[in-house]
Chain A
Amino acid sequence: MKQKGPGPVVWESGVEVASLYTEHELDKSGGVERVGRPGDFPFTRGIHPEMYRKRPWTMRQYSGFGTARETHERFLYLIENGNTGLNVAFDLPTQCGLDSDHPMADGEVGRVGMAVDTLADMEEAFADIPLNDITVSLTINGAAVPIMAMYFSMAKKRGFDLSSLRGTAQNDILKEFVGRGTWIYPVGPSMRLVADTIEFCARNVPRYSAVSVCGYHIRESGATPAQEMAYGLAIAAAYVEEALKRGIDVNAIGKTLSFNFDIFGNIWEQVAKFRAGRRLYARMMQERFGVTEPRAQQMRMIAGGGGGGLTIQQPENNIVRGAYYALISALSGTQTMALCSYDEAYTIPSEHAARLSLRTMQILMHEMGLTDTVDPLGGSWFVESMTNEMENRIEAITKQLEAEGGIVEAISEGRVQAEVNRQAFERERKIQSGELKKVGVNCFVEEEEAPEVEFHPYRREEARSQMRRLDEIRSSRDAGHVEAALQAVEKAATGEENVMPAVMDAVEAYATVGEICSALERVFGRFQEPVRF
């Protein structure tokens, strides 16, 4: 590294940091006029007046693997250990809309999440879990339509009233085109399906978040924190616009949206990102869309992670990183927290590692005073100045996106993907050159690497049992009924009708995820990935 004496301190987002902040710097950055009180517009200090005093954050570790039966056991284990929500991981075939016996599913069934083929799997996974106390988040995007329908059908069959059901589906397809990659259909029909789910929820499951807009995966794919927030805001606006075409009240739309953000990197940059993001979102919803109800102006979020910050080298360091990420999350006023476990750079978390993540959050909540008072950083000359600076930076990115034709077009053409990948390359280059420090990676490296973590075993027997179960269901269901239900799905997709009611009928007839997604694909076709460097 070049030794040039103390140079400027510049965050990843491009914001420069002074060595001292006083009233003077704060005034110059725009002062505190836009801060407001917690629970009041524009919610800089948090969306509730008393925040964690009244509503401690939900702890919702991401989990799921193998079959519904195995995942059910892990759910019970996490709840027993204090998880207050469930965040469901689905395996790749399910996420890509393929049945467990599809040729492309070979070797992937139950590997990175739970395998779901039919409603029967959903019923087994959530058996006896009190869906009114434990809020469930479904990490599903390309195949969100059948999976959400299965969850709602399962809840209905269990006797829960859909109008009071709470929870979240990830269902943010635009970010899948940028990072994570579980898209199925082209951008246009994918947007239509998101609007179908928003409309269905706004009318039938009003307390449920139909979409969780994910800056998270865009950041993981290489975006800076300011880009993460800017792209998240632009994506949220795109869904609101699409849903407005259905004639739904904009306040009802706003209430179905939530957010998912990433935490790794500089502490202050993340805190400023969240405070600025809440403010920008509230203003966007009010000024641009005319939202009047506070709940529909509030950026409700899960914030944690942060997989991108964890390292393969010296894996135990990730325990320490996770504790700092949780601290940032609490200081930023998140509603829900989840942490990547220390072994997650290698494998899906062991019980031991998942429990440690939970304990990390519990220690913060119960020992460290993070719930004592609302937004303890509010009013700090430094934090408020940087909130103003990040706000300007984020707004500049969203304005540029608009000027260039909007986020939907930018993603369809692969421009966002190329920009995010360019940033990823820069970041990796800086890590490899030592310009960006990573402990254990490019400094404080240990010659003799510690032994690797304990690996989660992949059991082919579980995959085979899933396929046997699928065979049994296929041969025991009413084939004529399934065929008619799938034709109804195709018909709804061909016209302008909302597909959700037809998909609900199909899942209740035990049609599979693969059958429903194929019916939709026959109408919509497949996304062709634009590759740009």
Chain B
Amino acid sequence: MSESRIRVLVAKPGLDGHDVGAKLVCRALMRAGMEVIYTGLRQSPEAIARVALAESVDVVGLSVLSGAHLPLCEKVIGKLREQGLEEVPVIVGGNIPSRDHAALAGLGVAGVFPTGTPFEAIADFVRERVAS
């Protein structure tokens, strides 16, 4: 096993069942040489933080298309902190209007990648964040 492989948790918080985007990003990051753990649908913030800890991931990616991204990101980041994972960057993708990007940054979200973002941009961002 190569020690340098980046580990990413891709999670679907909340009740939203639209998982096409999350699975596309999983495939894209795997093709970019990363190890990806996908949680499946309808995960509670607690469960996501537990998996992030157990799998010692480098980055947590959340996918939300229901419009509930602000409350969900806030909760997941809170639970990650409780687990002592405040250093793990959280990125979010999905139906995220630009007017909410600043609020997400304020909650501690490291990067926002709305629907249609080129795969490379996501992979590059993850690589840079993990390297720094």
Which A residues are within 8 Å of any B CB, using their own CB?
92-93, 95-96, 98, 103-108, 111-112, 176, 179-182, 220-222, 311-313, 345-347, 421, 424-425, 428-429, 432, 441, 452, 455, 458, 529, 531, 533
Q: Which residues from B are CB-within-8-Å of A179? A: 17, 19-20
Partner of A347, one of B18, B38, B67, B68: B67
Residues from 10 to 40 in B contacting A, C-beta threshold 8 Å: 14-20, 23-24, 26-28, 30, 38, 40
**24 sample A-B contacts, Cβ–Cβ < 8 Å, listed by A number:** A92-B14, A92-B15, A92-B16, A92-B66, A104-B44, A107-B71, A108-B14, A112-B67, A176-B17, A179-B19, A179-B20, A181-B18, A181-B19, A312-B114, A312-B115, A347-B97, A424-B23, A424-B24, A452-B97, A455-B97, A458-B67, A529-B41, A533-B27, A533-B30
Residues from 30 to 88 in B contacting A, C-beta threshold 8 Å: 30, 38, 40-42, 44, 66-68, 71-72
Residue in B27, B40, B42, B119 whose Cβ sees the most chain A Cβ within 10 Å = B42
Whole-angstrom CA separation of A176 from B15 in the bound complex: 13
**A427 (CB) vs chain B CBs: closest residue:** B24
User: Closest CB-CB distance, B55 to chain A, in whole Å?
Assistant: 14
Q: A111-B68, A347-B67 are in contact. Are A421 and B15 (CB under 8 A)?
A: no
> Judging by beta carbons under 8 Å apart, are B15 and A222 in contact?
no
Whole-angstrom CA separation of A465 from B70 in the bound complex: 21
Q: Which residues from B are CB-within-8-Å of A98? A: 15
Q: Which residues from B are CB-within-8-Å of A533? A: 23, 26-27, 30, 38
Query: Is residue B5 within 8 Å, beta carbon to beta carbon, of the partner chain?
Result: no
Whole-angstrom CA separation of A455 from B42 in the bound complex: 25
Q: Give the secondary structure class of A's interface.
A: loop
Q: Which residues from A are CB-within-8-Å of B19? A: 179, 181
Which B residues are within 8 Å of any A CB, using their own CB?
14-20, 23-24, 26-28, 30, 38, 40-42, 44, 66-68, 71-72, 95, 97-99, 114-116, 118-119
**A141 (CB) vs chain B CBs: closest residue:** B17
Partner of A531, one of B38, B97, B118: B38
Q: How many A-B residue pairs have CB under 8 A?
A: 89
Q: Which residues from B are CB-within-8-Å of A425? A: 23-24, 27-28
Q: Which residues from A are CB-within-8-Å of B30? A: 533
Q: A96-B42, A104-B44, A312-B114 are in contact. Are A180 and B14 (CB under 8 A)?
A: no
Whole-angstrom CA separation of A179 from B15 in the bound complex: 14
User: Closest CB-CB distance, A285 to chain B, in whole Å?
Assistant: 30
User: Closest CB-CB distance, A182 to chain B, in whole Å?
Assistant: 5
Partner of A107, one of B14, B20, B40: B14
> Judging by beta carbons under 8 Å apart, are B27 and A421 in contact?
yes
Q: Which residues from A are CB-within-8-Å of B115? A: 312, 345
> Judging by beta carbons under 8 Å apart, are A106 and B20 in contact?
no
Q: A181-B18, A452-B98, A531-B40 are in contact. Are A111 and B24 (CB under 8 A)?
A: no
Q: Which residues from B are CB-within-8-Å of A452? A: 97-99
Partner of B24, one of A92, A103, A106, A428: A428
Q: Which residues from B are CB-within-8-Å of A108? A: 14-15, 66, 68
User: Closest CB-CB distance, B13 to chain A, in whole Å?
Assistant: 10
Whole-angstrom CA separation of A104 from B15 in the bound complex: 7
User: Closest CB-CB distance, A370 to chain B, in whole Å?
Assistant: 32
> Judging by beta carbons under 8 Å apart, are B24 and A421 in contact?
yes
Q: Which residues from B are CB-within-8-Å of A313? A: 116
> Judging by beta carbons under 8 Å apart, are B71 and A106 in contact?
yes
Q: Which residues from A are CB-within-8-Å of B95? A: 345-346
Q: Which residues from B are CB-within-8-Å of A455? A: 97, 99
